[in-house]
Amino acid sequence: MTDITATPPIVRWAVKIEYDGTGLVGWQRQNNGISVQELLENAAARMIGGQIVPSVTAGRTDAGVHAASIVVHLDFPAGTQFRSHQIRDGLSFHLKPHRVVVLDAAPVGAEWSARFSALWRRYRFTILNRPSRAALMENHAWHVKRPLNAELMQKGADYLLGRHDFSSFRASACQANSPMRTLDELSVRREGELIFIETQARSFLHHQVRNMVGSLALVGYGQWEPDKMGEVLAACDRRVAGPTAPSDGLCFLDVGYEENPFSKNS
């Protein structure tokens, strides 16, 4: 008979973080460089004397991709006692000198998952559209010298809204079981020399956002008509789509849950 009063095997915390992905191999631990996951788990381990603290993220970003507000859950050993500000400040301290910072922290139930409890994820891709290369925005925007027409790009983007087979915008290494995704938003706007492309969905395929941006750039150049995006989508063939836009222009903006785990801290 199970003792329902027994101490749970873990103490789960949700943490909201931001990071500059420059020089990192992405979220997931790898053998070829430093990852965000490695940095965060090591920081958590230092807070409790070196014990392993596994983590799960809402989005596994690629090398060079940034995050403005991404959520991760950490499983501390049973009996670990912290307050929210101690988790936030302690992790941020042990993450120095890397450009990874904890913005907030909140205790959650063991059944809650940063990944599987998420209802939507939001990304922004930034293009610096001018002849001169970037100085202040280096590693944070795709520098495109040729003039881009943001209005035509938006017309092309509209063909991708809704639920579709996104095989044409799926990386060959994608491990998702299905190419079907529902794109709730794909907006393109220009602010001076900058073009911002924002998109939101419950989940995305590997490289989907960067592949969509690469194709939209061809529309912006005038190389493709906007309706070409619909033809590419219908083809369900990665070979007919445009190039993959560089990772440094991409930023994970936010993730949403049915109940915001950090709402009690605000």
- State the binding site for substrate: 123
Q: What are the backbone dihedrals phi and psi of residue 130, each rounded to the nearest 5 degrees, phi first? A: -160, 165
Q: What is the dihedral of CA 73, 77, 82, 88, to 10 degrees?
A: -30
Structure tokens at 253: 């903006």
Is 62 one of the annotated active-site residues of the chain?
Answer: yes
> Which has the closest alpha carbon to 78: 13, 11, 2?
11
CA distance 140 to 202: 24
> Which has the closest alpha carbon to 144: 158, 126, 169, 156?
126
Q: Binding-site residues, please?
A: 123
Residue 74: CB atoms within 10 Å: 24
Q: What is the dihedral of CA 43, 33, 169, 154, to 10 degrees?
A: 70
Say which of 3, 20, 62, 227 is annotated catalytic. Answer: 62
Which residues are designated catalytic?
62
